[in-house]
Amino acid sequence: QSALTQPASVSGSPGQSITISCTGTSSDVGSYNLVSWYQQHPGKVPELMIYDDNKRPSGVSNRFSGSKSGNTASLTISGLQAEDEADYYCCSYAGSGILVFGEGTKLSVL
């Protein structure tokens, strides 16, 4: 199972919106509504931000939203804040109990 494809880095200014893409295949992202997104600050444990393509766990800011089209899922962060600077990973169910993570994207808030 190959890693899902994410851009290595994205950047934005405070207050702006950014979108991180996550491209898989028809065997994973495109087949199931089970893409999740994790935020990981340096030296910290990952935190769930989006699950089931577009659902937010309780406590996660509504500035974070998820969507999907075909084999590509996206995470959008609106009203960018300095604290959003982190690494972001997508994860998808790939059938038969298998999960696959993305390559990770480093978000810089300029």
Give the chain's largest Cα–Cα span.
41
**55 CB contacts (<8 Å, ≥6 apart)?**
66
Distance CA 62, CA 47 (A): 15
Please list every residue from 32 through 91 that binds other proteins, using CB under 8 A: 32, 34, 36, 38, 40, 45-46, 48, 51-52, 57, 89, 91
95 lies in the site for other proteins, by CB under 8 A: no
Which chain residues interact with other proteins by CB under 8 A?
A: 1, 3, 32, 34, 36, 38, 40, 45-46, 48, 51-52, 57, 89, 91, 93, 97-104
